[in-house]
């Protein structure tokens, strides 16, 4: 009697995990808090950098990407014209503008390297890759980065610039420059301020949407508060209007490039950019006894993140530091 053979059951074929698949899963939970099972990521540029990798290697099996692939991808990323973060549009989407046609900086290329390395690390922890998998990014060296440009105002330059800002055709240029130089706030952060974010009684401004994704409190000196009072609407405490709004499009920040250029020229400053007001704040604070922890806490600069874990300073502490730094200067 012939034996009855059971039909062979075909082994289930596991789909190949591509880089695009992994990026999709990663970004779906990237901004989600860790308490809810997410990654808790705060780097707003991480999704953009990973999407660049999807364009280059998206269809490749994740486990099959080699160091040569990573190096070739970084070379292609470096060749793309540089862009700079220019804040958010009315819908809350990030806006970027091109900076000429030159290649991207080594620092930008390295951030793409870090983003890909983070993806591989996450994928291994999620068992999307074997436990003994070695990320191809580990065998690719990062590019050398020059020390950041540091330009700050000397006392006479500061006086000339603030005087020029007061004479500007845009009435709020002096207020914007004064806030930048006394708070260390970034351009996009200050332009995104709304009247309801400002607490005049406490002398504070709340930044809800910063470059690093962290809520931040700015200390406002009385000189800034006095200047704010000149422009504050009657319903300032509840108004969602931008402090530095455009005249023609109130939902958008005012484009002050022309007014700033005129003020810099009138003040006879050379090689000076708006971001250098942030450097000026840092320099004055350091010159007047601000500790590294106070400095890190006030600036919330990402490169000082290692010391922030030890910094739990109060607003009053930072107010004393900033007041001391600008005593007799305003």
* pTM to 2 decimal places: 0.57
Residues 218-222, mean pLDDT to the nearest whole number: 92
Residues 2-20, mean pLDDT to the nearest whole number: 65
Residues 86-111, mean pLDDT to the nearest whole number: 72
pLDDT for residue 86: 63
Q: How far apart are CA 124 and CA 120, in angstroms?
A: 6
Model pLDDT for residues 274-314, shown as the tens digit of each residue: 999 988 887 777 666 555 445 445 545 444 443 343 334 44
Match 């260390």 to its residue by tokens: 184
pLDDT for residue 303: 46
Mean per-residue pLDDT over the chain, rounded: 83
Residues 138-152, mean pLDDT to the nearest whole number: 84
Q: How far apart are CA 265 and CA 167, in angstroms?
A: 12
Inform me whether the pLDDT recorded for 161 exceeds 80: yes
Inform me whether the pLDDT recorded for 324 exceeds 60: yes
Inform me whether the pLDDT recorded for 206 exceeds 80: yes
What are the sequence ranges of the domains in the chain? Answer: 19-139, 155-326
Q: Which CATH number fits domain 155-326: 1.10.443.10, 2.40.50.660, 1.10.760.10, 3.60.15.10?
A: 1.10.443.10
Task: Please give the residue that has the higher pLDDT: either 324 or 101.
Answer: 324
pLDDT for residue 75: 96
pLDDT band at 150 (very low <50, low <70, confident <90, very high): confident
Both tokens of residue 61? 């099996």
CA angle, 80 as apex, 74 and 83 as ends, to 5°? Answer: 115
What percent of the chain shows pLDDT beyond 70?
77
pLDDT for residue 216: 82
Q: How far apart are CA 41 and CA 44, in angstroms?
A: 8
pLDDT band at 129 (very low <50, low <70, confident <90, very high): very high
Inform me whether the pLDDT recorded for 173 exceeds 90: yes
pLDDT for residue 15: 79
Number of neighbouring beta carbons within 10 Å of residue 294: 19
pLDDT for residue 292: 45
pLDDT for residue 323: 80
pLDDT for residue 102: 67
pLDDT for residue 134: 95
Which value, in Å, is the radius of gyration of the alpha carbons in the chain?
Answer: 25
- Strand-pair partners of 44: none
pLDDT for residue 87: 62
């Amino acid at each position: 009697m012939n034996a009855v053979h059971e039909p062979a059951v075909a082994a289930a074929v596991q789909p190949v995990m591509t880089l695009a698949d992994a990026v999709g899963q990663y970004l779906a939970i990237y901004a989600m808090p860790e308490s809810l099972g997410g990654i808790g990521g705060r780097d707003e540029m991480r999704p953009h950098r990973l999407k660049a990798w999807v364009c280059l290697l998206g269809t490749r099996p994740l486990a099959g990407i080699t160091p040569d692939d990573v190096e070739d991808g970084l070379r292609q990323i470096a060749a793309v014209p540089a862009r700079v973060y220019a804040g958010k549009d009315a819908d809350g989407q990030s806006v970027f503008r091109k900076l000429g046609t030159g290649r991207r900086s080594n620092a930008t290329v390295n951030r793409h390297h870090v983003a890909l390395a983070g993806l591989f690390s996450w994928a291994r922890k999620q068992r999307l890759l074997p436990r003994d998998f070695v990320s191809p990014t580990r065998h690719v060296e990062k590019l050398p980065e020059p020390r950041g440009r540091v330009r700050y105002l000397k006392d006479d330059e500061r006086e000339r610039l603030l005087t020029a800002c007061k004479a500007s055709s845009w009435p709020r240029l002096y207020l914007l420059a004064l806030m930048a130089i006394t708070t260390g706030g970034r351009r996009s952060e200050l332009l995104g301020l709304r009247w309801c974010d400002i607490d005049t009684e406490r002398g504070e401004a709340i930044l809800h949407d910063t470059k690093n994704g962290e809520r931040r409190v700015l200390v406002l000196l009385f000189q800034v508060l006095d200047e704010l009072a000149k422009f504050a609407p009657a319903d300032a405490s509840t108004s969602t209007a931008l402090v530095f709004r455009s005249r023609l499009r109130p939902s958008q920040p005012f484009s002050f490039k022309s007014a700033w250029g005129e003020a810099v020229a009138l003040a006879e400053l050379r090689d000076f950019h708006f971001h250098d007001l942030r450097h000026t704040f840092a320099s004055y604070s350091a010159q007047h006894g601000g500790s590294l922890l106070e400095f890190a806490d006030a600036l919330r600069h990402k490169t000082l993140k290692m010391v922030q874990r030890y910094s739990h300073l109060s607003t009053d502490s930072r107010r004393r530091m900033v007041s001391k730094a600008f005593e007799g200067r305003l």
